[in-house]
Structure formats: C-alpha cells, structure tokens
Amino acid sequence: MRSVFSKAILAAAQADSKVLLLTGDHGYALFDEFRKCLPAQFINAGIAEQNMVGVAAGLAKAGFKPIVYGLSAFVPIRVLEQIKMDVCYENLPVVFMGDGAGLVYSSLGSSHQSTEDIAVLRCIPNISILSPCDVYEMQYAMDQALRFESPFYVRMGKSDIGQVHQGPVSVPVGDLVPVRTGTQNNIVFLATGSMVKTAVALAETIDAAVWSAPGLKPINKNQVNNIALHTKTLVTIEEHSIMGGLGSLVAEIVSETGNTRVVRMGVQDRFSQKCGSYDYLLKEHGIDVAALLPQLSSILATD
C-alpha cells in the first residue's frame, strides 16, 4: 500500500507543479524517487508537525495542493488543533496521510501507536476519512483524496497482509464494498483497514458475508441500514478503539432505524501493556483470528 501511495503522489506532482509533499522528518526511503524527480516540490518541515500543518494551510490558501505525511500517532493526533482550525475551519484542500495506523509501530510503544485517530477526526467538520485495506482500496483512496476538493485523511495501517479484492475498487465515497458473500444470515461482518482480511478469515469459518468500509466519513447510511435489515447481528472489526471508530459509527446509524444488534470488535479502552511485534500486539489486544474466534462462538450461541 505504501508503494501505491508513493507512486500516486509522484504522478500527481509530476502532472501538477502545485502539488507539494510535506513531511515531518519521516519517510525518507518512501520518498526517494519523489525527492530525486521533484526536489522543489518536497518540503521537510522537520520534527515540527504542528507548524507543518500551518504551513500546509498557508500553501493551500495560496493555491497550492499540499499533501502532509506523518505517522498517524502524530498526524492527526499531535496536530489535531491545527487540522481543526487551520485547515478544516476554512475547508482547505489539504490531504493528510497517517502512516502506521493502529498497532503497526508495536515495538515503539503506545506513543507511536494510533488507535484513536478515526474517533478524534470524525467530529471535526469538513474532513473526509478513508481507511483502505489493500492496494486496490489504497489506489481508490488516493484517487479520491488527490482531487484536492476538501480536507482528506487517509489512514494507512499494516501494508503487507495480502490482497482482499481481485481488482480495482470503484464506488462513490462512503459506499461499502462487498468482499465475501455467505449463507449465514444471522451474522454479517463490516470491517475496515487491516481488519478486513481478519474478517474474511472469521467469516469463512461460518460462511458469512463480509463488507469492507474504505470510507468512514462520509459513509452511506442507507447502505448500512439495508445490510442491517437482512441480518440479526452486525459484527464490526477494526484495528482501532471500539469507541468512536467504525463500530461506534455503525451502532449510531443502526440505533436510529432498527433493532439489529451491533457487536464491536476492536481495541478495548486501554493502552498496550507491553512492547513487541505487530502479531504480539494483535494478540495482546485480542484482535487476532485466534482471539476473535471464541468471541464469534459466543455471538453465535446467543443469536
């Protein structure tokens, strides 16, 4: 996914000299080709992320098209006020790229893990949130964000977990994408980002349907409600806190229109207790396949 992102921004910048890439002293190898080809369109703002967003806002007001890159623990978390007031308040066309979302930077501890980025951005007006699960959804996300019509946040999680889709994704922003059909009507899975692959693995054990949510804001509420109408339980899975993310969003929508149960699978209300590998952190937080299977059995037992 990071390769798709890198190629997409290079192509956009080569086609339009007003496209600029700003980084907070991150992503050097990722941007080698960009810096080599377009050094005048690359700005390393240093370890000053808040200032970087202010600079991006000023550039956008001057007619440029800034792409702001950082680890998601810093962009958007460290720069939330600047995103809110400098960019979103004036609805400026700035693209924010949050890399390593969720538990990816596992060995660096909670300071570099980001399981709250969707939650804090959802309530800020004007910004759209995309959360791709594989290279096809990543290309889709970049196609949408690089139109530079309004603020966008693209959440990049674990990038090497394999493909979900068989070909390009082409849906309106906010639509869910069908990933798997199933004969199990009691449960349907809705997942986003890295957890779509996990949802497929769980669904295969009971032959249930899976939908991917590459767009979290806006989201097609009518589509969510229609899916809910045809099942008893919607199970949401995300590498994010269960509070404020996809699970909360789906529960909010469904609660207004029906009685479908929503079960939220994700990171509970706590920090990581230990450092370790990415696989270890998934296990610690109970969102790997082995930990989720008993939860699925409990859901089936009460359905």
User: Does residue 125 sit in the same domain as residue 260?
Assistant: no
Residue 215 resides in a domain: yes
Angle at 30 between CA 238 and CA 131, to 5 degrees: 20
pLDDT beyond 90 at 26: no
| Helix, strand, coil shares, percent, the chain, to 5 | 40, 20, 40
CATH classification at residue 203: 3.40.50.920
Please report whether residue 169 resides in a domain: no
Q: What's residue 213's pLDDT?
A: 98
Query: Which CATH number characterizes residue 30's domain?
Result: 3.40.50.970
In a domain, 284, yes or no: yes
- Measure the CA–CA gap between 222 and 217, rounded to whole angstroms: 14
pLDDT in tens, 172-219: 999 999 999 999 989 999 999 999 999 999 999 999 999 999 999 999
Q: Which domain holds residue 36?
A: 2-156
pLDDT for 257: 86
Q: Domains in the chain: how many in total?
A: 2
**Distances 214 to 30, 121, 169, 178 between C-alpha atoms, Å:** 23, 15, 10, 11
pLDDT attached to residue 301? 86
Minimal CA–CA distance to 100: which of 218, 194, 201, 211?
Answer: 194
Instruction: Enter the pTM of the model.
Output: 0.96
Rounded average pLDDT over 268-283 = 95
| Pair (182, 135) in one structural domain | no
* Residue 230 per-residue DSSP state: T
Domain boundary among 108, 125, 156: 156
Q: Which of 121, 156, 191 is the last residue of a domain?
A: 156
Q: Report pLDDT digits (tens) over 146-182.
A: 999 999 999 999 878 889 999 999 999 999 999 999 9
Q: In which residue are the tokens 């979900």 written?
A: 164
Shared domain for 75 and 24, answered yes or no, is yes
Looking at the fold, whether 117 and 79 belong to one and the same domain comes out as yes
DSSP letters of 4-45?
HHHHHHHHHHHH-TTEEEEESS--TGGGHHHHHH-GGGEEE-
End-of-domain residue from the set 106, 125, 156: 156
Answer yes or no: is pLDDT of 5 > 90: yes
In-domain check, residue 163: no
pLDDT score of 127: 98
Do 149 and 187 share a domain, yes or no?
no
Helices (H) and strands (E) in the chain, counts: 11, 12
134 and 96 co-located in one domain: yes
Dist CA 175 CA 138 (whole Å):
15
Q: Are residues 74 and 204 in the same domain?
A: no
* Residue 46 lies inside a defined structural domain of this protein: yes
Q: What percent of the chain has pLDDT over 70?
A: 100
Over residues 35-61, the mean pLDDT reads 97
Q: Is the pLDDT of residue 260 over 80?
A: yes
71 domain residue, yes or no:
yes
134 and 256 share a domain? no
pLDDT at 73 (0 to 100): 96
Task: Based on the fold, state whether residues 152 and 18 are members of the same structural domain.
Answer: yes
| Res 120 pLDDT > 80 | yes
CA 194 to chain centre: 9
Q: Is the separation of the CB atoms in 235 and 299 below 8 Å?
A: yes
**Domain contains 162:** no
- Bridge partner list, 191: 212, 237
Q: Specify the pairing of strand 128-130 against strand 152-156.
A: parallel
172 within some domain:
no
281 SS3 class: helix
Clarify whether residues 9 and 133 are in a common domain: yes
DSSP string, 68-135: EEEETTTTTTTTHHHIIIIIITTT---EEEEESTBTTTGGG-GGG-BSSHHHHHHTSTT-EEE---SH
Residue-averaged pLDDT of the chain:
96
Give me the amino acid identity at 172: P
Position 98 scores a pLDDT of: 97
If asked whether residues 129 and 217 sit together in one domain, one would say no
| 151 and 197 belong to one structural domain | no
d(CA 188, CA 300) in angstroms, rounded, equals 12
pLDDT at residue 183, as a whole number? 94
Mean pLDDT in residue range 254-278? 94
Cβ(253)–Cβ(179) below 8 Å: no
